Structure 1
């Protein structure tokens, strides 16, 4: 995600006020000691306490803190431009302009190593409604772990763009062919000893599977524990193996195989943001692609923000930092926000004034929502 530096905040202390005349107080007064009288024990203790407080305030102001601070990051219109470059550039198909905005939201995370801030700054962030504080290690870990996390986020960003393109095309009725290559099997899979790495799945129960969605639907049509017959191509020959499916832990059937689909995209989609990582912008990219590929002006001038992962089948998944993203959407002028159903528990009670949240579970849900928002038909849109 794009990082934004925030200025360090000074320590919190009471301002000193100069009085030119007598001071009136509602508290009981204590007679002042006579001129030249020795200091009382109370005045000595208070002086020491005052010095200690001043020292503590100074310490809070300058001592670095091993915490990370999260805040709303910038938003980007997937129908617009960033730094003069189209955010989503599509080649290989006609595209159409939109009168509205589809803004992906981000979270900016700072740590003491990249932007020195004090314990006082951390306390101020902890008390703020628009920031959050976590131990630095829980976000970054060691230097090696941070580098690995950044590489993973970059890879997830690339994969998210591909999934966004595939799901958008298929949602518009354009199936995307794929080579369904097996890259591994879980130890629990009943097919672990039957298939090999680089086998390509071509049929399930005798029916051809040409897209990743075909495969997902074929497996999802059965109960966990049911047998499934999978045909693969290995060294130029077709081989069919039959084995029992597994329970994914939520009652759904899975094969326990790891598939790396190689999609044959009919269009070329280029995303013009470099310093954003992770998969959470996937749904908003899918919506941007769908809007650009259709003549209909779905938004009709509306500004809609949102977040959510997307897979190649159009399923919208949960993300992190949604409370900050809600604030960022409000600050960007959005009146509507699309949130994954799985995030509703965190959304509830944290919606900024003036922002309306629509809960979505699939890309179809999200596309219907922006179309209805544009048409002003919002009375029964599902919320959190």
Structure 2
């Protein structure tokens, strides 16, 4: 007989190594678990639910002295060693492109961004496509106004036909001038440039009655208009849509940027290219502001974001419209110096002063 070998059996596990018994599931435990799960699901959904907000963030900046941005023919141009950067704002949200709650929270936590109700940025009845069309039209108009202001600042005569686009309700011109009228005279003197009209108004006191020569179709009329006050300036209450005959051919090529707020930097770029002086002289100067044909720097939106965009792209100086100073104070990033400007002449002088190393003497917003 063959010997049988017994197979060794494993020792039983000690009592303390056995897995613990699972706690019994009570109704309270189940309720708590379901509540936590529902809360987590609702919180996750809340982060992706559309909200009625839009967010402004620092947008790209562009150097108006870059070789291909402003092109000039018909006059000698000069090189510059500095940069004059226009600033922009990127907007997230708006008609057709709502922000999620998660994006809103991120915007609230980031000092470089601002979250606003959609209607504070976009008119309620405007679609995204309509807003883009308006923005592009404003950009074209700002380029024309900047060119007129820059050439006038450089003592060029800039002939223009002054078409009436409308009148301001309640003004002296309301009901007297019509859309399509052409202003040809001011107080008996010919008006051949936008500056002629502005100079005439500058010598007029608010409340004075002035006589405009107007061409309406085939007729020529004399229209008496009582001016109103705008601070210390007399105003007609007329919206002018000038048609310019520029003595120098200026073209501005820029893509994916709209609105009127680049006007001041466009005008400074044109002046820099047409003057032998190296105004910026190696400095990186950013800025913003609308530009009227007569050289007034106007306020814009989103200046807080533009300040951050400027310093991000290497600027150490920023030209800010005087009417935006309330938004500038307390929002200037480290390393950026702000100069306050009200006119193109002031902005030009500021660039020259910064280029000479004397920017510390410029007026600020503080």
How far is 1:238 from its partner? 5.1
Residue in structure 2 matched with residue 156 of structure 1 by the alignment: 138
After superposition, give the CA deviation of every residue in 1:179-237 in whole Å (9 maximum; x if it has no partner): 22334434534455555554433332233332212211212322221121222345666
Q: 1:71, 1:195 → 2: CA distance?
A: 42
Task: Decide which of 113, 133, 142 is 1:131's aligned counterpart.
Answer: 113
Counting matched residue pairs gives 346
Alpha-carbon distance between aligned partners in 1 of 2:175 and 2:327, rounded to the nearest angstrom: 43
Correspondence for 1:362 among 338, 343, 354? 343
| CA distance 1:261–1:113, change in 2 (3 Å) | closer
Instruction: Describe the shift of the 1:300–1:224 C-alpha distance in structure 2 as closer, same or farther (beyond 3 A).
Output: same
* Aligned partner of 1:334 among 299, 309, 315: 315
SS in 2 for 1:74: strand
Shift of 1:272: 1.4
Q: How does 1:174-213 map to 2 (within 5 A)?
A: 174-192=156-174, 194-195=176-177, 197-213=179-195
**What's the CA shift for 1:46?**
5.9
Structure 2 matches for 1:29-68, cutoff 5 A?
Answer: 38=24, 47=33, 50-68=36-54
Q: Is the 8 A contact 1:64 1:112 kept in 2?
A: no
In structure 2, list runs of 5 or more residues that go unmatched.
Answer: 1-19
Matches within 5 A, 1:147-296: 147-192=129-174, 194-195=176-177, 197-233=179-215, 239-248=221-230, 250=231, 252-296=233-277
Q: Secondary structure at the match of 1:106?
A: strand
- Report which stretch shifted further, 318-327 or 262-271: 262-271
| Cα separation, partners in 2 of 1:112 and 1:38, compared to 1, 3 Å | farther
Give CA-to-partner distance per residue, 1:28-66, whole Å, 9 cap, x none. Answer: xxxxxx966556898667645643453344324444444
Residue 18 of structure 1 corresponds to which residue in structure 2? none
Q: Deviations over 1:82-114 (max 9, x none)?
A: xxxx01111111111110101111111122877
Measure, in 2, the Cα distance between the counterparts of 1:312 and 1:113: 32
What is the distance in 2 between the residues matched to 1:145 and 1:59?
26
Shift of 1:130: 1.6
Match of 1:69 among 41, 55, 58: 55
For normalisation by structure 1, the TM-score amounts to 0.81
RMSD: 2.7
Quote the Cα distance in structure 2 between the aligned partners of 1:239 and 1:117: 54
TM-aligned CA distance change 1:65 to 1:228, over 3 Å: closer
Distance 1:209 1:62, change over 3 A: closer
Report the Cα distance in structure 2 between the residues aligned to 1:308 and 1:348, rounded to whole angstroms: 17
Given that 2:298 and 2:342 are in contact with CA atoms closer than 8 Å, whether structure 1 keeps it comes out as: yes
- Distance of aligned partners of 1:76 and 1:51 in 2 relative to their CA distance in 1, 3 Å threshold: same
Shift of 1:380: 1.5
Change in CA separation of 1:39 and 1:146 when aligned onto 2, cut-off 3 Å: same
Cα distance in 2 between the residues matched to 1:143 and 1:202 = 37
